[in-house]
Amino acid sequence: MARTRVGILGLGSVGRTHAKALARLADQAELVAVSGGASTDLTELGWPDAERTSHDALLERSDLDLVAICGPSALHAEQAIRALKAGSDVVVEKPLALTVKDAKAVAATAKETGRQVSVVSQRRLEPQNQYLKVKLDAGELGTPILGEAFLHWHRDDAYYAHAPWRSKQNEGGGSLFNQAVHNVDLLTWLLGPVAEVTAQYGTLGHAGLDTEDTTVATLRFASNALGVVVSTTATKPGDPARLVVYTSKGTIELANAEVTRWDIPGVPPPPTPSTAKSGASDPAAIGVIGHETQWRDVLAAFRDGRPPAVTAEAGLATVRLLCAIYEAADSGRATPAGG
């Protein structure tokens, strides 16, 4: 079986995570080319023969099956569209885009070119979350009443200084778009689309940031269940992300990947715990298992000619919600989340 030819745009911390994940799948994929990360030792990442090239050159290549977009969030949509038009399927790090318009453009380009886009949302593929999704959809856990997504993390000043875009809200540097996106995506994937939001945000723990570091939002789901989203990078020392689901039958709580509460009579808890790690105080601590799992799905989807588990449309739905939360905070009014 021929290996799938992959390029990675951007060898920052998350780009290196993608490279390490692919090295664990070297029987299926070959990392052909990378851009950025001039000081990165490709041998240490498991790819001593990968070609170094520029961002522009990588996006123009027609010999790559898949391109992973791992640069600053504000460039995700533009770079994904260029890679699609060059003939590659695309894996986009979270978020898909920073505006609904740009996210729609990526999804439309994928459809026009006949290519596939997968947005990195590895939390969806963790075994305990897969189990929870199946049981919720089957009605075995009762009717959802309340969903809560809490992200009490800490990022120090050095984290923001390392990459200037992290300090700018219009470049996706806020706690909601940059850190809480996975927890928010997971909550709405489990409980369904959100109809309306209210929100407030502030910069409370980092002087000089041109972005929020703390956001609180309330959600009304299309099912009429309610929800709460809390995101912050200003709380020391940082705790694992928590997700709580209250239903008509009981309560489920997860701290990062650990099921810490399962009070659902007659339904056993997930049998297989995930090994995913928390990035509560260190973004590099998440490890590679989540990305490896999603890459397994992406590579299988490419070989089989099917859509990946997390599509551009899924990424678009999450961008809609995040943008609606910011709009609600800016306007002080309840805001529709499905537009």
The two three-digit tokens of residue 235, written as one number? 């709380």
Question: Looking at domain 123-280+318-336, what is its CATH homologous superfamily?
Answer: Dihydrodipicolinate Reductase; domain 2 (3.30.360.10)
Beta-bridge partners for 6: 31, 66
- Listed in order, the ranges of the chain carrying CATH 3.40.50.720 are 4-122+291-311
Say whether pLDDT at 326 is over 70.
yes
Are 104 and 323 within 8 A, CB to CB? no
Q: How many CA atoms does the CB half-sphere of 240 hold within 13 Å?
A: 15
The CA distance from 84 to 300, in Å, is 19
The CA distance from 47 to 76, in Å, is 24
The CA distance from 319 to 323, in Å, is 6
Are 190 and 245 within 8 A, CB to CB? yes
Residue 112: band (very low, low, confident or very high) from pLDDT cuts 50, 70, 90: very high
List the CATH code of the domain at 4-122+291-311: 3.40.50.720
Are 173 and 165 within 8 A, CB to CB? yes
**How confident is the model at residue 280, as a pLDDT?**
76
Query: Per residue in 51-109, pLDDT tens?
Result: 999 999 999 999 999 999 999 999 999 999 999 999 999 999 999 999 999 999 999 99
**How confident is the model at residue 274, as a pLDDT?**
61
Say whether pLDDT at 276 is over 80.
no
**How confident is the model at residue 322, as a pLDDT?**
98
**How confident is the model at residue 273, as a pLDDT?**
64
DSSP letter assigned to residue 177: I
* Average of per-residue pLDDT values in the chain: 96
Query: Per residue in 202-257, pLDDT tens?
Result: 999 999 899 999 999 999 999 999 999 999 999 999 999 999 999 999 999 999 99
**How confident is the model at residue 124, as a pLDDT?**
97
Q: Label the pairing between strands 4-9 and 66-69.
A: parallel
Are 273 and 257 within 8 A, CB to CB? yes
- Listed in order, the ranges of the chain carrying CATH 3.30.360.10 are 123-280+318-336
